[in-house]
Amino acid sequence: MALVNEHFLKLPGNYLFADVARKVAAFKSAHKNASVISLGTGDVTRPLAPAVVEALHKAADEMGREESFRGYGPEQGYQFLREAIIKNDYLPRGIHLDINEVFINDGAKSDTGNIQELIRWDNSIGVTDPIYPVYLDSNSMIGRSGVKDDHDRWSNVVYFPCTAENGFIPAIPDRRVDVVYLCYPNNPTGTVLTKDELRKWVNYALRNDVLIFFDAAYEAYIQHPDIPHSIYEIRGARKCAIEFRSYSKTAGFTGLRCGYTIVPEEVSAATIEGERIYLNPLWFRRQSTKFNGTSYLSQRAAEAIYTPEGKAQVRDTINYYMQNAAMMLERFRTLGYEVYGGENAPYIWMKTPHGAPSWKVFNDLLNRAHVVCTPGSGFGPSGEGYVRFTAFGSHANTEEALKRIERWF
């Protein structure tokens, strides 16, 4: 008799953003004339850079000719892209990677969701709270998170609260944790860690044989020179950290699907008997078994953002979004709201007025101002009492949303 994986039944019914999308769709169908502005899901809106579009055309033509057609690519990605990554994203920061440490994927969501397959089902995990829901949901699906208590906390998860009270700096844990997820610049709070703060985590991991899964999907938004772009800027991180990058936010690839994961050759985990097992070949085995590479066109498109034109065009788009972020921060503060992030990340994290529940503010904003935000409680217990706004809108829409919030809220 086929039995279901009952761990699925312990999950919240919907993935957070699917939930938000459903509520917005319901509102729209009941209010046909309302013009709803979304500052909710972290999805980009600016078109692809011309250098990227040109690369897509060129690759499409190649695929249409017998002599240049390409079938299956290497599961870990094409060499041309892996070399461009090493040369442009790491070498300038003094980080030396071997090409076998770079795995191209179809976006960071897949790999941050799949990476937990490499560790034992009963390892405990630690997460900053609030957090991108994929980390916990993917662990819960295999039963690693345990069960949820009445306060929406998983029994086998250690939460590191990040709130206004501690300046959004997670405290090093005082109890056993096997694997830690860190995301910096942070989604959803938009806050960052300095090199000194990040070093504390790497040292903690090295001392306690902890693995760090480091999600750097937003590194392109870092403005201040003292904020690390990669965890490998910290000495020792090659022994304990796996890093995830994405072109989704960097270059507007949410619809193209391309990102990458770095699994250093030194990073390892133990067997029960204490033998060290390197994770790089395990990840290669995982990827070559369950993944067939991302589209050749998307990989050529990603390569194009490393050309001089591509770099300039991508930088312009990031600056465009960061102008939104600056405008939002300034206006929200003028209106008396407590807001965080938005300086090295495309997210603004707002304390709800008078500590109102996140979903109430989400509903009020949608109903009164026809503006969509993301309720902070969807990101974990410490997200309650906050909502997230993204800077990914157009200038006009962002401006209009701010006006409506000023008027109606």
Return the CA Rg of the chain. Answer: 21
Q: Are 255 and 80 in contact (CB under 8 A)?
A: no
CA 116-373-389 angle, to 5 degrees, is: 80
Write down the least CB distance from residue 357 to a copy of itself, Å: 24
Shortest gap between Cβ of 367 and a copy of itself (angstroms)?
Answer: 25
Task: Examine residue 185 and say whether the peptide bond preceding it is cis (omega within 30 degrees of 0).
Answer: yes
Q: How far apart are CA 337 and CA 110, in angstroms?
A: 35
**29 or 271: CB nearest a copy of itself:** 271
Which residue number, 264 or 385, has a Cβ lying nearer to a copy of itself? Answer: 264
Of 211 and 361, CB closest to a copy of itself: 211
Please classify residue 148 by burial: count the beta carbons closer than 10 Å to its beta carbon, then call 0-12 exposed, 13-18 middle and 19+ buried. Answer: middle
Shortest reach from residue 17's CB to a copy of itself, in Å: 8
Reduce the DSSP state of residue 356 to 3 states and report it: coil
Name the nearest CA neighbour of 235 among 276, 273, 192, 264: 264
* Torsion of Cα atoms, 155 then 110 then 17 then 85, to 10°: 120
**265 vs 364 by CB, closer to a copy of itself:** 265
Q: Smallest gap, in angstroms, from Cβ of residue 91 to a copy of itself?
A: 27
The least distance separating a copy of itself from the CB of residue 257, rounded to whole angstroms, comes to: 5
50/353 with CB nearer a copy of itself: 50
The tokens of 46 are what? Answer: 């600016």
Sign of the CA dihedral 93, 320, 331, 254? negative
Task: Write down the least CB distance from residue 288 to a copy of itself, Å.
Answer: 4
Grouping H, G, I as helix, E, B as strand and the rest as coil, residue 254 is: coil
Give the shortest CB-100-to-a copy of itself separation in angstroms. Answer: 13
Instruction: Decide: helix, strand or coil at residue 340.
Output: strand
Output the smallest distance, CB 236 to a copy of itself, in A.
Answer: 15
For a copy of itself, the closer of residues 20 and 262 by Cβ is: 20
Nearer Cβ to a copy of itself, position 17 or 337? 17
Comparing CB distances to a copy of itself, the nearer of 61 and 406 is 61
Report how far residue 117's alpha carbon sits from residue 107's, in angstroms, rounded to the nearest whole number.
Answer: 17
Beta bridge partners of 215: 183, 244
Evaluate whether 85 touches 260 at the Cβ level (below 8 Å).
yes
Candidates 31, 62, 93; CA nearest to 299 is 62
Q: Which distant-in-sequence residues (6+ apart) come within 8 Å of 285 by Cβ?
A: none
Task: Write down the least CB distance from residue 313 to a copy of itself, Å.
Answer: 11
**Of the two residues 296 and 340, which places its CB atom closer to a copy of itself in the complex?**
296
